[in-house]
Amino acid sequence: MNTLSLAAPAKVNLFLEVTGKLPNGYHELATLFAKISLTDRISVSAQVADKEKLSLRITGPLANGLEADENNLVFRAVRAFEEEFGLPLKADIVLEKNIPMGAGLGGGSSDAGTTLRALCRIFAKDPMRLLPRAAKLGADVPLFLYPDPFLKGEGIGEKLTPIPVAGSLPWLVLVYPDSHVSTKGVFNRLHLNNPKQILTNISNLDRLLLALASASPLPQWQPLLFNRLEEAVLPYVDAVKKAKEDFLSLGACPLMSGSGSTVFALTPSQEQAQDLAAKMQQENRKVFIAHFGGTNDENN
């Protein structure tokens, strides 16, 4: 069997505005995804077989609570690959879980998307063919079929445009307050903004993209970071609210990622990130230091 191991990077949202609600209940977004160096790892051994035979083993410090059954997104990703290319597989997959679940970091979506990329590498297939099937697995899964570290997301998040970024980038300190936030519950609580304010915020997203492309220093674009979903999380989840307040008390400019519960802040240097991370440590929190751009093998 052919074997390949790839990092499955987490993502943060540097910007997230909700621009509308579709008749099917899904919400339309304008968002900026950024992949980071906090990763799961997917190891795939696969070959074409007369009859499908799949196995999944989950390891790593955050493996507890994850079931290696038919409902796991990794299994569903393999099935999507088989259906698209008409290839029944014998595949053994190991998922090393390091990204918290329900944290707004896209861990499950990354695991699925990275599984698809690994299979495409093994069998010399174009991962872009899988975009429609990936979107059916989850709105964030298509993000992880792209090699690009920064992507603008529109629609329900599945319409993606790679974004050029120049210059040196800041470090991230991420705080996961050991609280799972239901994405469905967040959107149920959300009230759409008025059209004028939405247009103003979309203009700020355009300014943020321009600043990143022109290598502007962090103080120039940090005030443009935004997440509409904070208003549907912070008043309802004390642990997330407290993480943001603690960052603010230390002079940081924190932002919640996605629908929560992770809160992150940016620092100009790794040393400052380490200092901030040490101050944010508390019982019932997981604190991570990361940089932008995924990992070395993310783009290979």
Residues labelled as active-site residues: 11, 140
35, 9 contact by CB (below 8 A): yes
Cβ within 8 Å of residue 176, ≥6 positions away: 100, 103, 105, 261, 262, 285, 286, 287, 288
144: nearest Cα among 172, 182, 105, 174: 105
264, 11 contact by CB (below 8 A): no
Determine the Cα–Cα distance for residues 263 and 230; give it in Å rounded to an integer: 10
| Neighbour tally for 139: CB within 10 Å | 20
Cβ atoms within 10 Å of 44's Cβ, excluding its own? 26
DSSP E strands: which ranges in the chain?
A: 2-21, 27-48, 53-59, 89-96, 150-154, 159-162, 171-176, 226-227, 255-256, 263-267, 286-291
Give the CA angle between residues 85, 137, 19 to the nearest 5°.
130
Coil/strand/helix, residue 29: strand
Find the angle CA(215)-CA(218)-CA(222) to the nearest 5 degrees: 120
Structure tokens at 43: 């190891």
